Amino acid sequence: MNIYEDCTCSSIFNATHMTKDFISKLTNYFDDEELIYDIRLIITELLVNCVQHGNKNDLSKKISLSAEIDDNKIIIKVKDEGEGVKQEITAKVEECKTCGRGLLIVKKLTDNLIFNKNEIVAELYL
């Protein structure tokens, strides 16, 4: 069941607004504060990554967010107009000197993280 879908110009302001809008809708489906906190952190990190690294802060490019609930999981998809993630996620925060910390946090909070060019799919089992 699709619970959210939106696309907007690539900016931190718009990413923040999109996150707030999504979380307000998510509370209609879940009342687990810890789960909602984790999802908010995941979306924030992924959307900031889209704006800064994918679209290189280019306001003419778009970011998108969608989410669906499947039988036992929530599937979150973010997409930008960049070239996609080209690096492996390192295993330790200390190794992430200038970038990669956000994706490492997301990897730790999700059950499955899929990189498909300029789209990232995060799955959390419920």
* Reported pTM: 0.90
**Cα dihedral 43, 48, 53, 54 sign:** positive
Helix (H, G, I), strand (E, B) or coil at 95: helix
Is the separation of the CB atoms in 104 and 97 below 8 Å?
A: no
pLDDT in tens, 85-125: 865 565 555 555 556 688 899 999 999 999 999 999 999 99
Digit-coded pLDDT (tens) for 2-28: 999 999 999 999 999 999 999 999 999
pLDDT attached to residue 84:
87
Give how far the C-alpha of residue 50 lies from the chain's centroid of Cα atoms, to the nearest Å. Answer: 8
CB 91 within 8 A of CB 30: no
* Predicted local confidence at residue 88, as pLDDT: 59
pLDDT value at residue 46: 97
DSSP code of residue 99: S
Q: Is the pLDDT of residue 61 over 80?
A: yes
